[in-house]
Amino acid sequence: MKPRQPALRRLAALALAVALLPTELAAQGLLGTGKGQSPLEINADQGIEWRRDQNTYVASGNARASRGDVELFADELTAHYRDAPDGSSEIYKITASGNVRIVSPHERAQGDRGAYDVDNGVVVLLGKNLRLTTPDEVITARDSLEYWEQKQMAVARGEALARREDRRISADVLAAHFQPGRNETLELQRIEAYGNVEVQTDREFARGDRGTYFADQKLATLQGAVKITRGDNQMNGDYAEVDLTTGVSRLLSGGSGVKGMILPRDVTGDSQETTPKVQ
């Protein structure tokens, strides 16, 4: 899993470009963004307004902001600015509402509305059908999708799900941590899962209270009230390791033992409960 700059991070880069807009917003179209910066292009069917009393710029009606190969779409885009100590203006927040989409050559993020906190470097997408799509995976959430630029961390909250082929990791909250990779890309390092964690492959289904997925090893660990189910068989323990490449799982004891219920397939249909050896 080696996505290029995640789409949520790309919104942050786009927002920084917007922060360099000149105070006098002349008209929609190609806008200079400051010395040494590539231009930002903003278009909107209904036009762009400079609302001086509210310290905002508002682009309405199929609004589109683009810089390089990154595009931000929404029904309405609003840039909030304030006076800087040197007398210039600076953007401190950007909000997007209505059919929000962040599109790059390799990623796409979507939501009903979004906001970028320039001071803290935090992007938040809200609404229905929250989704982040990369060439390798799809991450969805019910409550919010976030990207914390300084921590290089993406967070999905509420029925969060990371899916790749037939492998699925879900939880109340998923936090994906990235690290610098080759050619100025970011590589997924690990995903931390909290609350009602579930790991599913084509062979088995595992549950726990907490979990961590290590991308380089393709290994998931589970802790707390762990249950592993394969077909009609189930094992319970305190800690488990699930190899998502081989499908092999190891259930370990944290002191309370490991218990398994094995249902033999015979003509009588009888079941037998056994306690496997603790590793």
Q: What is the pLDDT of residues 252-262, one digit of tens each?
A: 765 554 444 44
Quote the pLDDT of residue 41: 73
Same domain, 67 and 109: yes
Residues 118 and 215 in one domain: no
How far is the C-alpha of 20 from the C-alpha of 13, rounded, in Å?
Answer: 11
Instruction: Report the share of the chain in percent with pLDDT over 70.
Output: 73
Residue 3 shares a structural domain with residue 103: yes
pLDDT score at 152: 82
- Average pLDDT (102-111) is 83
Residue where a domain terminates, one of 69, 99, 134:
134
Which of 134, 163, 189 is at the close of a domain?
A: 134
Structural domain of residue 263, as residue ranges? 151-279
CATH code of the domain covering residue 211: 2.60.450.10
Backbone angles phi, psi at 203, to 5 degrees: -110, -35
| Residue 141 is assigned to a structural domain of this protein | no
Average pLDDT, the chain: 76
* CA triple 148-154-158, angle to 5 deg: 115
Indicate whether 120 and 11 sit together in one domain: yes
User: Which of 77-86, 103-112, 213-222 is predicted most confidently?
Assistant: 213-222
pLDDT tens for 142-183 read 999 998 878 888 899 999 999 887 788 999 999 988 887 666
Q: Does 238 have pLDDT greater than 70?
A: yes
Looking at the structure, tell me whether residues 170 and 238 fall in a common domain: yes
The pLDDT tens digits of the residues spanning 65-81 come to 776 777 889 999 998 88
Is beta strand 167-180 parallel, antiparallel or unpaired with respect to 233-243?
unpaired
Please check whether residue 248 lies inside any domain of the structure.
yes
Report pLDDT for 50.
Answer: 87
pTM for this structure? 0.76
Residue 273 β-bridge partners = 261
**Same structural domain, 120 and 174:** no
Same domain assignment for residues 110 and 182:
no
pLDDT at 198 over 50: yes
Asked whether residue 143 is assigned to any structural domain, the reply reads no
Q: Tell me, yes or no, whether 9 and 117 share the same domain.
A: yes
Give percent of the chain above pLDDT 90.
Answer: 25
Higher pLDDT: 185 or 124? It is 124
**Mean pLDDT across the stretch 113-140?**
86
Asked whether residue 146 is assigned to any structural domain, the reply reads no
Residue 155: per-residue pLDDT: 93
Three-class DSSP category at 224: strand
Among the listed ranges 15-24, 55-64, 118-127, which one has the minimum average pLDDT value? 15-24
pLDDT at residue 172, rounded to an integer: 98
CA–CA distance, 83 with 12 (Å, rounded to integer): 21
Domain boundary residue, one of 76, 102, 134: 134
- The span from the CA of 111 to the CA of 127, in Å, is 5
Q: With 70 as the cut, is the pLDDT of residue 193 above it?
A: yes
The 10s digit of each residue's pLDDT in 22-65 is 333 322 222 233 333 455 577 889 888 888 899 988 989 999 87
pLDDT at 16 over 80: no
Task: Examine residue 145 and state whether it is found in any structural domain, yes or no.
Answer: no
Rounded mean pLDDT of 11-27? Answer: 40
Looking at the fold, whether 28 and 59 belong to one and the same domain comes out as yes
Look at residue 236 and tell me whether its pLDDT is greater than 90: no
- At residue 42, the pLDDT reads 75
* Residues contacting residue 57 through CB under 8 Å, at least 6 positions apart: 21, 25, 48, 49, 50, 51, 78, 79, 81
| Tally of domains in the chain | 2
